[in-house]
């Protein structure tokens, strides 16, 4: 088992919880070493706000609650590769590393995506490096999306 798998599975459970609540199946967490600092779920439908992706909810919470020094050492884990909006938020928050499960291309195929940009590509335009690790447990990560998207 890779060192990322345990926390990745937590994001899958968060994604499943979001789905049970009628939201899109995405979950994310922020960790320092192996300690979970914060978690978040997608709340687009329940919050009636298209920007309430799990990662953006997490970054918003993190920037309000945690010191910049903590963010600059943390790792953001997400059940599915971040979209362009969420990648921007992660970058601007100063988070240096993300780990994701389901790849953007896979989600695009499952959901009929119209704006699929891999996060590595987005981060490549930044003035500082954001390390991207993934996909991790890709097949397991895709399960929560099965049957959700029309």
Active-site residues, by number, are 55
Inter-axis angle of helices 54-65 and 84-93, nearest 10: 20
The values of phi and psi at residue 41, to 5°, are -120, 160
- Give Cα separations from 14 to 69, 79, 114 (angstroms): 26, 8, 25
SS3 (DSSP) at 13: helix
CB 78 within 8 A of CB 4: no
Two tokens, residue 6? 């345990």
**Could you tell me the two tokens for 112?**
């009929």
- The bridge status of strand 35-41 relative to strand 27-32 is antiparallel
Phi, psi dihedrals of residue 29, rounded to the nearest 5°: -145, 160
């Amino acid at each position: 088992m890779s060192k990322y798998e345990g926390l990745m599975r937590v994001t899958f459970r968060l994604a499943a919880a979001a789905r049970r609540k009628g939201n899109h199946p995405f979950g994310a967490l922020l960790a320092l070493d192996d300690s979970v600092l914060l978690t978040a779920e997608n709340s687009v439908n329940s919050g009636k706000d298209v920007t309430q992706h799990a990662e953006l909810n997490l970054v918003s919470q993190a920037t309000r609650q945690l010191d910049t020094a903590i963010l600059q050492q943390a790792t953001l884990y997400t059940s599915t590769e971040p979209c362009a909006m969420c990648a921007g938020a992660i970058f601007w928050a100063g988070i240096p590393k993300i780990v994701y499960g389901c790849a953007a291309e896979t989600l695009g195929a499952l959901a009929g995506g119209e704006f699929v940009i891999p996060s590595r590509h987005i981060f490549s335009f930044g003035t500082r490096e954001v390390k991207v690790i993934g996909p991790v447990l890709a097949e397991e990560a895709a399960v929560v999306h099965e049957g959700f998207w029309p």
